[in-house]
A and B are shown apart, each in its own frame.
Chain A
Amino acid sequence: MAEAKTFKLRILACNKLFYEGDAIEVIFPTTDGEWAVMANHAEMISTIEIGEMKVKLPDGSWMKAIVSDGFIDVHDNRVNIIVYSCEKPEEIDRFRAEAAMERAREQLSAKQSIREYHISTASLARAMARLKYSNKDI
């Protein structure tokens, strides 16, 4: 089989440069399901939802990460992903995520403004994604 084509991938989270280097494929969650980008993809800008992202590295292995919402920018065989947070499943603090879920649920049950509602639903989604994917065996 011919050598798989690669592209330059950069994933920026607000507390670190999560990944910078070559990749064969990246699969990310969006509002209408998962999307994949491979080398020489057409120019694209898309949103990313909270969920699990997978990156196929040049050696053929898959790297998994849990991302919080953000966006992806594809152009000239370069892919830039900017998200609030991006963690490997093993980095996730389940205890913290559980506490966050509890807190978000509690806040949701209280009466609140639309703004607070937005924030609580987003934190709930984040906590649930963290718990869900950190649990899964790879």
Chain B
Amino acid sequence: MASAKEISNRIKSIKDTMKITRAMYMISSIKLRKAKKNLEETEPYFYGLQGEIAGILYRFPDAVNLFFDNREKDLKEKVKRRGIVVITGDKGMCGAYNHNVLKEAEKLIKDSKKYRLFVVGAVGRNYFYTRNYPLPRDFTYTATNPSIHRARNISETIIELYKKERLDEVWVVYTRMVNSMRSDVEIEEVLPLKQRKFARDEIIKRKQKAQMAHGHLKKLEDIDINVRSEDTDDTVLLSGSDMIIRPSVDDLIEKIVYNYLTGFIYGALVEASACEENARMMAMSNATDNADNILKDLSLEYNKVRQAGITQEITEVIGGAKALKSKN
């Protein structure tokens, strides 16, 4: 058994650690409140945008365009160059949050023959850097306090590469907050845009997702999606053909792509930062609880050791006294 001195040293060190974790818990709970407010404001836009885009694509006339990746030379390409946007945190100490995102991202990388990584957040950048993945040098964005400006910078970078045909697909790996207890890693293919025949599944998927999310999105349900069950592909084709598209199909598609990607990345950044703070808060509260438990055990042990010491001393004293008595 350890000596009383050793145990009391340990108790002291654990108490110090607990002070730190408790402080971090408080900080992250304040940050979480801010991130959650931001999330609440952004979520109608995030899901509304996705539903709207899917709805538009569903009704959109068939067009051959770079952003649909259906031009003749696109169809001939055997290997698609993937751009993978990975959104991680800037700091550790948040449980499995970063680990989960990175695991999914690595899986996706393994599936891709040609890829380009765009990593947001310092943790992810370090992770890929130490494992010798190629990273673009000028792509260094933080994950904390997401802003539409940062999202615009990121999406401009990506669309520029897409237009130069250095990328054929754009995937985003991020963490989405399902509810305050659960967050899931999501992998979404954002570009190329889905053509009509694929759009229907997409709409249904998005609708389910939006409904699964928080209650305040209920309002959106009836509006965001406009697929009627009696729609067959033919009627849609007909109704799609006399749609007014301004200023021109290509301009409109480009605008939609810019808006969609920027909006999507902004939404993903907001979701991810809320998840990160949430994960950190939970990790820190667990750490504080654990420290509490260890302290309880240690103080019991300390008391046992102390008592054992006292008992021993008493027996020694009594033994000594007895020995003296018998001498007399």
In the complex, the answer to whether A47 meets B252 with C-beta atoms within 8 Å is: yes
What DSSP secondary structure best describes chain A's contact surface? Answer: strand
Q: Which of chain B's residues 34-61 have a Cβ closer than 8 Å to chain A?
A: 41-42, 44-45, 48-49, 52, 55-56, 59-60
Query: Chain A contacts of B226 at CB under 8 A?
Result: 75-76, 78
Query: Chain A contacts of B244 at CB under 8 A?
Result: 42-46
Asked whether A80 is an interface residue with its Cβ less than 8 Å from the other chain, the reply is yes
Pick from B45, B153, B242, B252: contact of A45, CB under 8 Å: B252
In the complex, the answer to whether A84 meets B148 with C-beta atoms within 8 Å is: yes
Asked whether B27 is an interface residue with its Cβ less than 8 Å from the other chain, the reply is no
From B67-75, B93-101, B172-180, B259-267, the one touching the partner chain is B259-267
Contact with A along B214-225 (1 / 0, CB 8 A): 000001000100
- Contacts A45-B56, A45-B252, A47-B255: A31 and B156 contacting too (C-beta < 8 A)? no
Contact with A along B14-50 (1 / 0, CB 8 A): 0000000000000000000000000001101100110
- Contacts A44-B245, A119-B153: A71 and B48 contacting too (C-beta < 8 A)? no
Query: Chain B contacts of A61 at CB under 8 A?
Result: none
Query: Chain B contacts of A76 at CB under 8 A?
Result: 226
Pick from B44, B219, B242, B259: contact of A70, CB under 8 Å: B259
Q: Which of chain B's residues 138-154 have a Cβ closer than 8 Å to chain A?
A: 148-149, 152-153
Query: Chain B contacts of A31 at CB under 8 A?
Result: 247, 251
In chain A, what residue has the closest Cβ to B262? A84
- Contacts A43-B59, A45-B56, A73-B56: A15 and B245 contacting too (C-beta < 8 A)? no
Asked whether A115 is an interface residue with its Cβ less than 8 Å from the other chain, the reply is yes
- Contacts A15-B45, A45-B252: A84 and B52 contacting too (C-beta < 8 A)? no
Asked whether B315 is an interface residue with its Cβ less than 8 Å from the other chain, the reply is no
Bound Cα distance from A114 to B48, whole angstroms = 31
Chain A interface, number of residues (Cβ within 8 angstroms): 36
In the complex, the answer to whether B247 meets A82 with C-beta atoms within 8 Å is: no
Distance to closest chain B CB from A23 (angstroms): 14
Bound Cα distance from A32 to B248, whole angstroms = 12
In the complex, the answer to whether B148 meets A73 with C-beta atoms within 8 Å is: no
Asked whether B243 is an interface residue with its Cβ less than 8 Å from the other chain, the reply is yes
In the complex, the answer to whether B259 meets A78 with C-beta atoms within 8 Å is: no
From A5-13, A90-98, A128-136, the one touching the partner chain is A5-13
Bound Cα distance from A10 to B48, whole angstroms = 10
Query: Chain A contacts of B262 at CB under 8 A?
Result: 84
Q: Could you list 16 further interchain pairs (A-B, Cβ under 8 angstroms) beyond the known A47-B247, A69-B255, A70-B255?
A: A12-B52, A14-B266, A15-B41, A17-B45, A17-B48, A30-B246, A30-B247, A31-B247, A43-B243, A45-B245, A47-B252, A70-B259, A76-B226, A78-B223, A80-B223, A84-B263
